[in-house]
Structure 1
Amino acid sequence: MKTILLYLLFLITIAVLLLNRYTDLYINNSIMHFILLILASITFVFIIGRIFGKLQTTKSRVLTILIIGVFCFVQSFLTWGGDWKTQTILYQNKVNGNKTIEFQMRGDRFSFGYKKRVINRLKLFPGLDWTTDVDTAKIDHKQWEKINRYVNEMKFASK
C-alpha cells in the first residue's frame, strides 16, 4: 500500500509540474509550487532508493529529505521569477464567473522593473489557473462584461 501511494504521489506531483511547465496551466502560488517540487523530488528519490534497496533506515530517509529540501530551496531561489499578480480585472465572462480577462504584473527579482501581460484566466482550483494570452481589441463583447476592477495585488501605493 505504501508503494502504491508513493508511486501515485510521484505521478500526480510530476504531472502537475510538467503541465505547469509545458502547457497553459499555471500554479499561481509559489508556496504550492515549492511543495509540489519537493514532493516530486522526494518521492522520486524514494522510488529509486526502493529499487536499489537503499534508504532503509529512518535516519537515512530524514537526511535525504533534508538534503532534497535544501537543494529544492536553492533551485527555487535561483530560478524563480516571481508570481504574476493581478492589478486590474478588465473583463468578466457573462456565463462563467471564474473566467476573467486580467492585467497582471510580475516584479523581476534580479533586474529593475516589471513584466506585464493581459491574459484570459480560468480559475480551476485554488492555486491553479488556466491562462492564455488575449488581445483585448478582439474581444467578443457579447460574452464579456467590462468591469475594470482595480485589485492591486502588487500592493502599490494608491493615488
Structure 2
Amino acid sequence: MFSILPILVFIEILNFGILRTIFCSSSWKTQTIIYQNTLDENKKVEFQMLNKGAFGYRRRTVEVNYITNWFFISKEKGIYNSNWKKVNLEVNELGLK
C-alpha cells in the first residue's frame, strides 16, 4: 500500500501538469479595437476573448500598448480622456460570426 501511493501521486502530478499545459496554451484574441490613442497609435483599448473550449469564452476589455507586433503590455484599468478617439474596428481574431 505504501509503495503504490507515491507512484499514484507522481502519476497524478504528471497528469495535472500535462492537462494544465494543454488547456492553458490558448491566448487572448482581439475581437474589437474600441479606442485608439491620438498621441500614440500603439496604444489601444481592445475587447478580447479567450476560448476555454467546452467552458465557453472569457471576456475582457484592456488597454494594450504594442511595443512590437509580437510584444505588448496590457493593463486592465485605464483612464480614457480626450486623448482617445473611438474607432470600433472589428478584428475578430477568433473567427466568430
Equivalence for 2:76: 133
- Tell me the alpha carbon deviations over residues 83-136 of structure 1, each in whole angstroms, 9 at most, x when there is no partner: 101110000000110100000001003x3210000000001122111000136x
| Partner Cα separation in structure 1 for residue 44 and residue 33 of structure 2 | 7
Equivalence for 1:13: none
Q: Which amino acid aligns with 2:80?
A: I
| Partner Cα separation in structure 1 for residue 95 and residue 22 of structure 2 | 24
Q: Which amino acid aligns with 1:118?
A: T
Q: Which amino acid aligns with 2:83?
A: Q
Equivalence for 2:13: none
Say which of 55, 61, 70 aligns to 1:112: 55
Give structure 1 stretches of 5+ with no counterpart. Answer: 1-73
Equivalence for 1:153: 93
Q: CA RMSD in A?
A: 2.0
The alignment's TM-score, normalised by the length of structure 2, stands at 0.72
Structure of higher RCO (CA pairs closer than 8 Å, 6+ residues apart): 2
CA contact (8 A) 1:92 1:144 kept: yes
Q: Would you tell me which structure has more strand in proportion to its own residues?
A: 2
Identity %: 31
The alignment's TM-score, normalised by the length of structure 1, stands at 0.46
Give structure 2 stretches of 5+ with no counterpart. Answer: 1-17
| Partner Cα separation in structure 1 for residue 21 and residue 59 of structure 2 | 21
Pairs aligned (count): 80
